[in-house]
Amino acid sequence: MNTAPASSPRLELSEQSRPKLARHARLKFDKIREQWVLLVPERVLVPDETAVEILHLCDGERSIAAVLDELCRKYAADRQLIRNDVIALLQDLADKGYLIDAGEEKA
């Protein structure tokens, strides 16, 4: 008999998702390091400038589609290329439990 605890279902992000950092994750500017860091339990992650910009847009109000629109306007880049990179970054953070979908949180 399998006695392993059931894991929570994987959050599958889509353009309709409204991502935001989980309660235990904080994006903060570290004055000593002079760079942005993502503080999560027992870890300090150092995202690159692009990831920081994306995380600033993930406020739980904007959908991923709105984040993509903003980045496309700012950088005049191909939406599909940006979409793939943004979804990959956010899905990785969601898989680690550092990002949630605000739309599902209220459901």
The CATH number of the domain where 64 resides is what? 1.10.10.1150
| pLDDT confidence of residue 7 | 55
CA distance 72 to 82: 8
Q: Whole domain around residue 53: which residue ranges?
A: 19-105
CA distance 55 to 47: 9
pLDDT digits (tens, 9 = 90+) for 14-71: 999 999 999 999 999 999 999 999 999 999 999 999 999 999 999 999 999 999 999 9
**Contact of 83 with 36, CB cutoff 8 Å:** no
Q: In this structure, is residue 1 part of a structural domain? A: no
The number of folded domains in the chain is: 1
Q: In this structure, is residue 55 part of a structural domain? A: yes
| pLDDT confidence of residue 1 | 46
More confident: 6 or 23:
23
Q: In this structure, is residue 11 part of a structural domain? A: no
pLDDT digits (tens, 9 = 90+) for 81-104: 899 999 999 999 999 999 999 987
Q: In this structure, is residue 8 part of a structural domain? A: no
